[in-house]
Amino acid sequence: MWGIELQRESGSGIPLSRQIYQQISRSILDGVIPPYEALPSTRELARTLGVSRHTVSEAYDMLLAEGYVCSRQGAPTRVVDGLRLERAAGGPARDEDGTYTQAGVGAETAVGGYAADFKTGQPDLRRFPKYVWTRLQSEAFSQLALEGLGYGSPDGYEPLRKEIAAWLFRSRGIRVPAGHIFVTAGATQALNLLADLLHREGKEFVIEDPCHPGILNLLRNRGFKYRPAPVDEHGLVVEGAEALFRHESGNGDGGGISAVYVTPSHQFPLGGILPANRRIALLRLARENSFYVIEDDYDCEFRYGGAPITPLYALDAERVIYVGTFSKTVFPSLRLGFAILPEPLHQRWRFLRMYADVQCPIVEQAALAEFLRTRKMDRHVSRLRKIYGRRREALLEAVKRRFGRAVLRVWGDNAGLHLALQFAEGRYGKDFSRKARKEGIRLSSVNQYSIARRDQHMDKLLLGYGHLEPEEIRSGIDRLHDFWHRGLPWI
Amino acid sequence: MWGIELQRESGSGIPLSRQIYQQISRSILDGVIPPYEALPSTRELARTLGVSRHTVSEAYDMLLAEGYVCSRQGAPTRVVDGLRLERAAGGPARDEDGTYTQAGVGAETAVGGYAADFKTGQPDLRRFPKYVWTRLQSEAFSQLALEGLGYGSPDGYEPLRKEIAAWLFRSRGIRVPAGHIFVTAGATQALNLLADLLHREGKEFVIEDPCHPGILNLLRNRGFKYRPAPVDEHGLVVEGAEALFRHESGNGDGGGISAVYVTPSHQFPLGGILPANRRIALLRLARENSFYVIEDDYDCEFRYGGAPITPLYALDAERVIYVGTFSKTVFPSLRLGFAILPEPLHQRWRFLRMYADVQCPIVEQAALAEFLRTRKMDRHVSRLRKIYGRRREALLEAVKRRFGRAVLRVWGDNAGLHLALQFAEGRYGKDFSRKARKEGIRLSSVNQYSIARRDQHMDKLLLGYGHLEPEEIRSGIDRLHDFWHRGLPWI
């Protein structure tokens, strides 16, 4: 009846009543069963299909509940008018097995199968105390009060905010009230919310050029305008470029400034430390022009000579918004970071966060609070610092041994997880990276991060090393040298 | 010398070298130490302060690294010019203990201390198998390959996408390729990304009126325009309101449509199930006018009579974007949900997600995949369904017993975690909720969710019940009745 065919093997997974419902509703949509047609009685259809009346009743209830048919007392149940709908042309293929291969942006973030992988910003996951973390996580979760499972504060888990404040004091000597620390899903989300929070219609963000792609791409995603400001070996150039930091840029664009983004502890990608005079000049401009400065301190924990750089935030907690991350010190898929916000921004931030994703999940926050409270973080970071420092040495030695005087200079302070090599000659752009990748070498050229000042850094290659053992670094440099040597047209 | 005072108790927490650095740099900023002033020799300062020369050297290295002083071979180290910076006027108070009390939006989400708490959208956390989850979580995390700790795909953890696809098939009879399922930080983030993804300059989102505050507030946050469309007992009104779903709305605004947002399985807040004729009419309009329909299926798992409603998505996988959440079936602070996207949107979604927060944390994704794979989810949801169904009964009985004929009608299908009571007379607005709250009763009026059609629902109160035991429901209704009875001016 009505062409209904039932799959009775229990393996089909769909209850018989739903199968009946699905086929009748499909027929109604296709116009096979016309409007006003009366449904057969449950007894009749049950007999025809060889199922129980209860099964048919259930199917009819579904059709009724969803408005495919309507019934009136004493009259038969009839098909509602006006339900004809042409089937969608394509739609997801029915036989697709759901296998999905990463492409595009996704692939960039995957841990690759490269013979020489100099991707930047990768901590060494092999050194992470996974066993300790698993235990902390279980303990933290099972000790959590029941309310912890419910919706929490968009500001972050209270004990974690306090532990971050204590950690900032221990590790960087800055005092921050826990109430000014807002937990985020990594630095990325902090920057994303800040873009929305600080954006002023028609005004521009000032960003570094070359710059970290995170901030650049999120501004582009939002359609927010930006001014790329020059960077040299010391980081953002302020003196001589003051016009860029004034509301009237002198370009006749008449725009103002939404905020300034800067990486003062270790400029990405060139590695400079912003000197005090530039810090002061920038803060003066911020005060005169009433803009906020976003300080992205993405890998400040790893400095191999001397003490950690004092954040810009320490100089002016009212004008500087500090953004930190635990992706490098704990692990990236933890997705925890934070922003330190001056009071006037708290209320609006909370509202934005609430409707962005409400809050970070609770487990990670509780586990991280314990990791910090028990000083396991301190020990872990101090161990990593020694390891990464040795790797940097290994990289420099290997480069010197292999490339000799072809490398003019190493850019970047004795810090972080990457450095840049400046070659005596050579033009390294996207093409170079692409061809290298085909040879199993992942690295980028500094030039790929340039915005307005194209081709200014064609002589520099960017190498991440934190995640590589010294042996991997040496063999990677051997491989890179081979490729570089063969590809003489590149230089 | 230079007014440096050191705190030597080991309890101060700041190393001596950093104390020296901090005080000298502060004096430079304050102008107390003028430009070009030579630093005393390390030997001299060490003797004066009674510390080791090494300590002073460390402090000087910090000053040098951060550009407060500069040194040239053979000449003494001198203070750099132009570092004067007035101290910020206010800034975070030094003696603040960081204690932070939730306010504003935050408070709305806190688990309150209400004697009668009829907040909507709250699952019963007491029924969650926390012990089982803790174990799953530990196992999932410890079995995770090392790469799982690194940056992953913005699309979601592959095994979880497959398990969600299987769950959708088991629970709603829809077949979705796993590659079309994008894991999000709850439905909130899905809606947020969709707003960005589907927004077209100058065009409007059509939303229900009254409506869930999530979508409304995020559109407002973004400054995106919207058209509120009428809702009746069956959900979104389509027939007779077609103009609202056409690019030319007839209001002379000349705008078009970015997308339509709808809650067809259980309209929020009025509880209607969108009948098939309206579903069809809406999809026809979507095809004619080339817009996407966002289907928010926020509590579809809980239907107490009959089978779950078939999603709108089943009718047109090319035009409908389905949004689901695990906040109600697992727990809210898990922060996991998903969107099912047609292929043309995948690439852009990925890019937006990448620069929003990269991905969801890995632990929750791995644990949820196991919860689904082992069918623990199915058992949990089926148990909750029975419990919530009984609570709904208890609520209806208590309302009938207490309010009798003062309640004209109960709005909302036999489903979900809330229902609306329509009173014979009465004007319930924000004032009513506010005064009730002072008496320990948390509930809202339907009218609070109205957008353009103000005061249309002044006769309806909204009650969430999923998280309350029958006894709590009964005593809550007693309390509400007392308040309501006393406050006769309200009716």
Chain A contact probe: residue of B58, B99, B100 with most A CBs at under 10 A: B100
Chain B residues in contact with A317 (beta carbon < 8 A): 88, 91-92
Report domain extents, chain B: 10-79, 116-125+379-490, 129-376
pLDDT at B89: 57
pLDDT at B14: 77
For residues B267 and A286, what is the distance between their CA atoms, to the nearest angstrom?
48
A455 φ/ψ angles, rounded to the nearest 5 degrees: 65, 15
pLDDT at A290: 93
Pick the CATH number of A128-377 from 3.40.50.740, 3.40.50.10860, 2.30.40.10, 3.40.640.10: 3.40.640.10
A439: left (phi over 0), alpha (psi -120 to 50) or beta: alpha
Structure tokens belonging to residue A141: 């979760």
The mean pLDDT of A194-212, rounded to a whole number, is 95
pLDDT at B61: 84
The mean pLDDT of A111-118, rounded to a whole number, is 80
Is residue A96 a contact partner of residue B177, using CB atoms and an 8 Å limit? yes
A39: left (phi over 0), alpha (psi -120 to 50) or beta: beta
- Residue A11: which pLDDT band, with cuts at 50, 70 and 90? low
Q: Which of A323-332, A454-463, B102-111 has the lowest mean pLDDT?
A: B102-111
Chain A residues in contact with B342 (beta carbon < 8 A): 91-92
pLDDT at A89: 57
Work out the minimum CA distance from A234 to partner chain B, whole angstroms.
Answer: 10
Q: Got the DSSP string for A396-464? A: HHHHHHHHGGGEEEEES-SBSSEEEEEESS----HHHHHHHHHTTEE-EEGGGG-SSSTTTTTTEEEEE
Total CB pairs under 8 A between chain A and B: 399
Residue A16 half-sphere exposure toward CB, CA atoms < 13 A: 16
Ranked by mean pLDDT, which of A18-27, A86-95, A242-251, B101-110 comes out on top? Answer: A18-27
pLDDT tens-digit readout, A420-453 = 999 998 889 888 999 999 999 999 999 999 999 8
B142 to A131: CB separation less than 8 angstroms, yes or no: yes
pLDDT at A488: 56
Is residue A55 a contact partner of residue A42, using CB atoms and an 8 Å limit? no
The three-state secondary structure class of A134 is helix
B396: left (phi over 0), alpha (psi -120 to 50) or beta: alpha
pLDDT at B91: 37
- What average pLDDT does chain A have? 88
Is residue B150 a contact partner of residue B156, using CB atoms and an 8 Å limit? no
Name which of B251, B230, B232, B252 is nearest B241 in CA terms: B230
Q: Is B116-125+379-490 CATH 1.20.1070.10?
A: no
B95 touching chain A per CB within 8 A: no
B17 touching chain A per CB within 8 A: yes
pLDDT at B92: 35
pLDDT at A98: 30
The mean pLDDT of A317-333, rounded to a whole number, is 96
For residues A321 and A176, what is the distance between their CA atoms, to the nearest angstrom?
12
A132 touching chain B per CB within 8 A: no
Is residue A184 a contact partner of residue A356, using CB atoms and an 8 Å limit? no
If chain B, 491 residues long, is cut into consecutive pieces of 10 residues, what is the mean pLDDT of each piece? 77 79 86 86 89 91 83 82 70 31 31 83 94 94 93 96 95 92 97 96 95 94 94 94 81 74 96 90 93 94 83 94 97 97 97 96 97 96 95 96 94 92 89 91 95 91 96 96 77 43
pLDDT at B366: 97
pLDDT at A3: 75
The three-state secondary structure class of A35 is coil
Structure tokens belonging to residue A438: 């085909």
For residues A397 and A133, what is the distance between their CA atoms, to the nearest angstrom?
35
pLDDT tens-digit readout, A233-281 = 999 999 999 999 998 755 545 569 999 999 999 999 999 999 998 998 9
Structure tokens belonging to residue A164: 């971050």
Structure tokens belonging to residue A102: 């990463």
| Class in CATH terms, B129-376 | alpha beta
Is residue A443 a contact partner of residue A478, using CB atoms and an 8 Å limit? no
Work out the minimum CA distance from A491 to partner chain B, whole angstroms.
Answer: 33
Q: Does residue A385 carry a pLDDT above 50?
A: yes
Q: How many CB atoms lie within 10 A of CB B101?
A: 8
Q: Got the DSSP string for B342-397? A: -GGGHHHHHHHHHTTTSS--HHHHHHHHHHHHTTHHHHHHHHHHHHHHHHHHHHHH
| Class in CATH terms, A109-125+379-490 | alpha beta
pLDDT at B136: 95
pLDDT at A112: 56
For residues A236 and A239, what is the distance between their CA atoms, to the nearest angstrom?
9
A1 touching chain B per CB within 8 A: no
pLDDT at B485: 87
> In terms of C-beta density within 10 A (0-12 exposed, 13-18 middle, 19 or more buried), how is residue A89 classed?
exposed
B364: Cα separation from own chain's centroid:
16
Q: Does residue A461 carry a pLDDT above 80?
A: yes
A21 touching chain B per CB within 8 A: yes
Structure tokens belonging to residue B468: 């309350």
pLDDT tens-digit readout, B218-257 = 999 999 999 999 999 999 999 999 999 998 755 545 569 9
pLDDT at A138: 94
For residues B236 and B247, what is the distance between their CA atoms, to the nearest angstrom?
18
Nearest residue of A to residue B26 by CA position? A315
- Residue A105: which pLDDT band, with cuts at 50, 70 and 90? very low
Chain A residues in contact with B77 (beta carbon < 8 A): none
CATH T-level assignment (fold) for domain B10-79:
Arc Repressor Mutant, subunit A (1.10.10)
Is residue A436 a contact partner of residue A322, using CB atoms and an 8 Å limit? no
A150 to B180: CB separation less than 8 angstroms, yes or no: no
pLDDT at A212: 93
pLDDT at A479: 95
A99 to B179: CB separation less than 8 angstroms, yes or no: yes
